[in-house]
Structure 1
Amino acid sequence: MEFRIERGALTDAVSRAARVLPARSPVPVLGGLLLDAGPGGLSVSGLDFEASARIETVADTLRAGKVLVMGRRLLDICKVLPEGPVECAVEGSRFTVAGGGSRFGLSVLPLDDYPALPPLPELRGTVDAAEFASAVGDVAVAAGRDDTLPALTGIGLGLDGSTMTLAATDRYRFAVRTLPFAGKAPDVTADVLVPARRLTEIARSLGGAGQVSVAVDAGSIGFEYAGTRTTVRLLDGRLPRHDKLFALSDPAVAVLDREPLVDAVRRVSVVADGGSPLQMTFTPGPDASVLLQAGFEDDVASQRLPAALEGAAGMTVAFNPAYLMDALSSFAGARVRMRLMGPGQRAMITGGEGTGTPTHQHLLMSVKPAML
């Protein structure tokens, strides 16, 4: 096996494949990356018990062949290689990497012990890469991080004809985002639960991929884009349905400029130690405003902002400041709309347009206001 490749292309392929490698594994070969050089270029593959990835890149193959080497060690080497062409070859029981006057040697792992990569599941359709990556980021902030509740560490992915729905919840918040989906068939459907960490990694790697092919079967989900094919094992279970939860009866509605609100929440929550809440007191009228307050005793902070309030004579609600910041930061528009049911009840945050069904919704549970 022998091939030449640009240092940037090799580093990119190795780093993307290495993301699926297990941090620790009782099976040593699962720490390896499989390099396969052929007439079509180079493919770099990795897998663990939960995910797999295969990245294809341009390379000049002088001698076709395969080799299995420790993935993270190869990635470390790629990061320190000088810019320019790199020559790679198998010499006996060693894989050599040379470029810019530097030369490295790696011992090879037994190919016969390496499992076959799982096949891509059934193709269901395609989605715009940039919009999909944005949607995953919007909902991932609400995914749980408690491994004792594995279903809540996932992102629900639903397909229904021409719509993809992504959802996540940790029981205290619930984020949902819908986006267009080009189904392979008009009646395509799916309802699966994908590990949030894995889906976030895939979304971050999309870049300018254009269209992403989505493939789903009973046990796994796959994505194919820009020379990359990756699969992820699905989680068992389903997220709670959000339809009735999101239906708020006669809420008060507050509309605020998003960026000043984000800045104010960040500023005021500096004194909100120990999970203490951030309180928002809405005052209607010609000079309608919201007063943000946090802290206890002498360590307090406050800031007042303009806010339009409809449907209430006035209201005070409070939120976990970190959850509120996550929710507000997941929106990109100039304004946000808050639908409020009152202290200790549900509150819905959407974009500020206020027309039609929102494509991005973030539900928060308000908490008991603090005694400031």
Structure 2
Amino acid sequence: MKFRVERDALADAVAWTAKSLPNRPSVPVLAGVLLRVADGRLEVSGFDYEVSSQVSVEVQADADGAALVSGRLLAEITKALPAKPVDIAAVGAHLELVCGSARFTLPTMPVEDYPTLPEMPASAGSVDAAVFATAVQQVAIAAGRDETLPMMTGVRIELNGSTLAMLATDRYRLAMREIEWRPDDPNISLNALVPARTLADTAKTLGPLGGEVTLALAAGGAGEGMIGFAGGTRRTTSRLLDGANYPPVRSLFPDAHNAQARIQVAALVEVVRRVALVAERATPVRLSFSDEGLVVEAGGTEEARASEAMEATFTGEPLTIAFNPQYLLDGLQHLNTSTAVLSFVDAFKPAVLSPAGEDGEIIAGYRYLIMPIRVTR
């Protein structure tokens, strides 16, 4: 194997592939990235039996072949190279890399020991890459981090006709986003529970590429239990989580509300951050709404207290409700609008945060539900 490639293209390809490699691989070869050259293209691949990543780069090839090297080391090296073409060649049990006057020799691992990458499932349809990336970002924040509850660490994707819905919850908050997509089968009805971290990393990479992202999901048979995403010259697959008993979380959204507040997002974010400075971890902030506006308060240990008043348009009976400040900030910062609408049933039932236009009307498509925390004053 011998080829020349542009430094930036190589560094991007290796960095993206190496990002999903395991920190503690069960076998040494899983810490490697596979470089394979054929027909003037370089394929950079990574696989840990859960997630596979593959990207294709155009190269000037003198000889086809394959080599397996440490992914993280190669990523660090390619990132640090000068902005010049890179010459790479497999020589015996080593990979030689030359860029300008910089020269590296890396040990290789046996290519034959590397597992075969899974095939992409059948295509289910496509969605605008930027819209998809934004939607994933808005929902994945609500996914759980507790690996002892694997179901809660996933994002549930629901494909029904031309609507693609994503939901995630960690039992204390729930995010849901619905977007339009282009299914291959207009009558499609499929659900999948995708690891949130993998989905977020994939969307973050594919979104800036523009164009469309292809979703590949098997309804049964070959490829079942796996989902694939492809955009540009990149593709990734992931094993699905067991979502057979995923709770009916849509029913948590209240059918009606008794009070509603319209608030400027940037102003509320600043106030919550300031007031929460006196609060210890997981100590709630209290929001008191009335016709006069909003007062945000927090109390910590040793009599530390903070409060700040701000403008808000409120309809309903005066209400005081408390939230985990970080959960509230997460929701506010992912609305992607300057105005937020908070809808309440009462101080002890979940509140719903929604994006709103400049006219104050709720923009459909995204809802962020947050559980209140009972506090005594």
Answer whether TM exceeds 0.5 for this pair.
Answer: yes
Is 1:308 matched with 2:277?
Answer: no
Is 1:277 matched with 2:273?
Answer: no
What stretches of structure 1 move > 3 A for 4+ residues in a row? 353-357
- State the secondary structure of the residue aligned to 2:327: helix
- State the secondary structure of the residue aligned to 1:275: coil
In the alignment, residue 239 of structure 2 is paired with which amino acid? R
In 2, the alpha carbon distance for the partners of 1:340 and 1:37 equals: 59
- Note if contact 2:354-2:363 (Cα within 8 Å) is conserved in structure 1: no
Is 1:149 matched with 2:149?
Answer: yes
Q: Deviations over 1:250-303 (max 9, x none)?
A: 32111111111111111111111132110011111xxx3000000146311111
In the alignment, residue 324 of structure 1 is paired with which amino acid? L
- Note if contact 1:277-1:370 (Cα within 8 Å) is conserved in structure 2: no
Report what 1:63 is aligned to. 63
Report what 1:342 is aligned to. 346
- State the secondary structure of the residue aligned to 1:130: helix
Report what 1:253 is aligned to. 260
Calculate percent identity across the aligned residue pairs: 40
Q: Give 1:21 deviation, angstroms.
A: 1.1
In 1, the alpha carbon distance for the partners of 2:211 and 2:65 equals: 31
In 2, the alpha carbon distance for the partners of 1:366 and 1:248 equals: 18
**Mapping of 1:183-198 within 5 angstroms?**
183-198=183-198
Q: Deviations over 1:42-96 (max 9, x none)?
A: 1100100210011001111111111111111111211221111010001111110
- State the secondary structure of the residue aligned to 1:14: helix
In the alignment, residue 205 of structure 1 is paired with which amino acid? T
- Note if contact 1:142-1:173 (Cα within 8 Å) is conserved in structure 2: yes
Is 1:321 matched with 2:340?
Answer: no
- Note if contact 1:125-1:184 (Cα within 8 Å) is conserved in structure 2: yes
- Note if contact 1:279-1:370 (Cα within 8 Å) is conserved in structure 2: no
Report what 2:229 is aligned to. 223
Give aligned pairs, total: 367
- State the secondary structure of the residue aligned to 1:138: helix
Q: Deviations over 1:204-246 (max 9, x none)?
A: 1111231000001230100111100110000012532233211
In the alignment, residue 213 of structure 1 is paired with which amino acid? T
Q: CA 1:183/1:213 → structure 2, altered by over 3 Å: closer, same or farther? A: same
Structure 1, 249-258 or 348-357: larger mean CA deviation: 348-357
Is 1:361 matched with 2:342?
Answer: no
Structure 1, 174-183 or 295-304: larger mean CA deviation: 295-304
- State the secondary structure of the residue aligned to 2:260: strand
Structure 1, 362-371 or 78-87: larger mean CA deviation: 362-371
Report what 2:221 is aligned to. none
Structure 1, 82-91 or 289-298: larger mean CA deviation: 289-298
- Note if contact 1:195-1:235 (Cα within 8 Å) is conserved in structure 2: yes
In 2, the alpha carbon distance for the partners of 1:124 and 1:112 equals: 32
> Normalization by structure 1: what TM-score?
0.95
> Normalization by structure 2: what TM-score?
0.94
In the alignment, residue 349 of structure 2 is paired with which amino acid? Q
Q: Give 1:313 deviation, angstroms.
A: 2.4
1:295 to 292, 299, 303: 299
In the alignment, residue 303 of structure 1 is paired with which amino acid? E
In 2, the alpha carbon distance for the partners of 1:209 and 1:313 equals: 47
In 2, the alpha carbon distance for the partners of 1:214 and 1:62 equals: 35
- State the secondary structure of the residue aligned to 1:15: helix
- Note if contact 2:158-2:189 (Cα within 8 Å) is conserved in structure 1: yes
Report what 2:213 is aligned to. 212
Q: CA 1:186/1:177 → structure 2, altered by over 3 Å: closer, same or farther? A: same
In 1, the alpha carbon distance for the partners of 2:355 and 2:258 equals: 16
In 1, the alpha carbon distance for the partners of 2:299 and 2:361 equals: 36
In 1, the alpha carbon distance for the partners of 2:361 and 2:271 equals: 26
Q: Give 1:370 deviation, angstroms.
A: 4.4
Report what 1:243 is aligned to. 250
In 1, the alpha carbon distance for the partners of 2:62 and 2:40 equals: 12
Report what 1:266 is aligned to. 273
In 2, the alpha carbon distance for the partners of 1:361 and 1:79 equals: 39
The CA RMSD measured in Å over matched residues stands at 1.4
In the alignment, residue 309 of structure 1 is paired with which amino acid? F
**Mapping of 1:75-86 within 5 angstroms?**
75-86=75-86
Q: Give 1:355 deviation, angstroms.
A: 5.1
Q: Deviations over 1:328-368 (max 9, x none)?
A: 11111111100112222110000124657720100011112
- State the secondary structure of the residue aligned to 2:10: helix
In 1, the alpha carbon distance for the partners of 2:252 and 2:80 equals: 51
Structure 1, 21-30 or 120-129: larger mean CA deviation: 21-30
